[in-house]
A and B are shown apart, each in its own frame.
Chain A
C-alpha cells in the first residue's frame, strides 16, 4: 500500500500536540505507520475516529519492545503503532468502548517521572557536551597559532558551525524539561492529562535545522576522512602544470647539485609535487626540491606551499600570506626547517608593496641560510621556504608569477 509522508509539526515532548495531530490525520484517513521527529509515514485508509495515546517507555538500544506492556494493552484494544526516540510508545484504538489506559493520574505520573529525570540530567550533560565540542573546535582552529591556515586546511569551519547549531538548539533541552515537568506536576496533582490541544500546522524550523546538521556532518566526514584520500599522491616536478615553479636550481645558480632519492619505479621523495584537497581550498600544492649538502654544512632545499582560494574566500589571501610567513619564521617544522633557539639569529623582514602582488614579504634569518617569502595575489597564496646560497630577493618576479 502506498505510504504518505507528512512533516511532523510538533516537538517530541508536546504529548497532547502529537496525540491531537495523529487523531486529526486519522479523521483524514491517514494512519500512523512510523513516527519520526522530522516526518512521519502514514498508511491511507477509510477515515475513522481513532484515539492515540502516548506512554513513556524508555528502552536501551538493544532492548526489545516491552511485551508485557504491549500484551496487556492489546487485551483491551490498544495497539502499539509507533515509537518516539525509544523513550515513548504510541498506542491507538478505534474501539470506542476501549477504556482509557490510565485511571490514576498519580500512578501515571510515576512513568513520566523517569523521563523527566532524564530530561533534567540532559540540561546538565548537553551544555557540557556542547562546551566540549566548542573546546575541540577552538583547539583545532587556533592550534599552532595559525587560525586562517587551520580554517582553510582543516574541518574547523563545519565544526564551528556545528557548535553554533548546538548553541542555538540548547534552549530546547530546557523546554523539554519544562514540558515534562508540567506533565508530571499535573499528574502528581491528580489531574488527568488532556488528549486534545492546539498544535502548529507546520514546523519548518525542524527540517531546516535537521538539514543543516546533516550537511555539516557530511562536510565534517568529507573534510576529515574523504578529501585526504583524494590528493596526497606524489608527482614528479615535471608533471606540475598548475603554476610556473620557482626552481631550486634557479635560486642556487650554477653551483646547484641536485639530490635525488629515486629508484626505478618509485617517486623521488626528495623532489616532488603533491596536491591536497581541502573543504575550503580544493586546489593546493606542496612542492619539495632538494640539492646536495654544501661543504659549509648548508643543505640546499626549497619547499613551496601554494593555495588557490575560492572566490568567496579570496579576501583571506593576504592575511593567510602574512600568517604563513609569521609561522614560517618560527622554524618549528620538520628536521629541515628547524633551528636550535640557542643559536640565536634574528629575522629581518622586508615588504615589497610595489612588486605587483597584493602582499609580498621576504624574511631572512641573519647569520643563517634560512630565507622565507610569502605572497598573495587575487586569492592565491604562495609560501617559499629556502636554505642555500642564493637570494630569494633576486627572484621576486618568479615568486609572483607562481600566483599570477
Chain B
C-alpha cells in the first residue's frame, strides 16, 4: 500500500479509515462520507475503494460484519483505531513543524 508501507497513510486511506470512526459502514456510505468531509476534493472510485478495503482487511485494520445482498458492511478494529491515531499524531506534528517555520 503506498504510504502505509513507509509508515503513513495516503489521503484516500486516511479518510476511508476515518469514516469507520462513525461506526459500521458500507461502500456507498464510505464514499459519501469522504466526499462530504472533503467537500468533493477527495474522490473515491470503486476500484480505489475496493483495493483499500481489501488491503485494510488483509492488515486487519477493518473487518467485515455483515453481508446483506450486495451490501457489505465493515467496522474498524482496535488495530485500525491505533493506526488512525498514529497517523493523526504524525499529521499534527507535520502541521506544527510547518507553523513553527512560518512564524
Interface positions of A (Cβ within 8 A of B): 53, 55, 67-69, 71-76, 78, 99-104, 106-111, 188
Contact = CB atoms under 8 A, between A and B. Distances in A.
B45 A99 contact: yes
B51 A110 contact: yes
Nearest to A68: B72
B88 interface: no
B44 interface: yes
Contacts of A107: 1-2, 10, 12-13, 48, 51-52
Among A72, A101, A108, the most chain B Cβ lie within 10 Å of the Cβ of A72
7 contacts: A69-B50, A75-B46, A102-B48, A103-B43, A104-B45, A107-B13, A107-B51
A110 B64 CA distance: 21
B71 A99 contact: no
Contacts of A109: 2
A72 B49 contact: yes
Contacts of A78: 46
Interface of B: 1-3, 10, 12-13, 27-28, 43-55, 64, 67, 69-72
B28 A75 contact: yes
A106 B45 contact: no
A321 B42 CA distance: 80
A104 B50 contact: no
A68 B65 CA distance: 13
A53 B48 CA distance: 13
Contact of B12 (A53, A68, A71, A103): A103
A106 B72 contact: no
B10 A72 contact: no
A59 to B, nearest CB: 13
B45 A100 contact: yes
Nearest to A69: B50
B10 A106 contact: yes
Contacts of B67: 67
A107 to B, nearest CB: 5
B70 A106 contact: no
A103 B38 CA distance: 14
Given A72-B27, A72-B46, 14 more contacts: A71-B27, A71-B69, A71-B70, A71-B72, A72-B53, A73-B47, A75-B28, A100-B45, A101-B48, A103-B48, A104-B12, A107-B13, A108-B51, A188-B2
B1 to A, nearest CB: 6
A111 B48 CA distance: 10
B46 to A, nearest CB: 5
A106 B2 contact: yes
A104 B69 CA distance: 28
Given A74-B70, A104-B12, A106-B2, A111 B46 contact: no
Contacts of A102: 45, 47-48
B45 A75 contact: no
A75 B47 contact: no
A72 B50 contact: yes
Nearest to A73: B46
B53 A108 contact: no
A110 B69 CA distance: 28
B49 to A, nearest CB: 7
Nearest to A74: B70
Given A107-B1, A107-B2, A110-B2, A55 B72 contact: no
Contacts of A106: 2-3, 10
Contacts of B45: 99-104
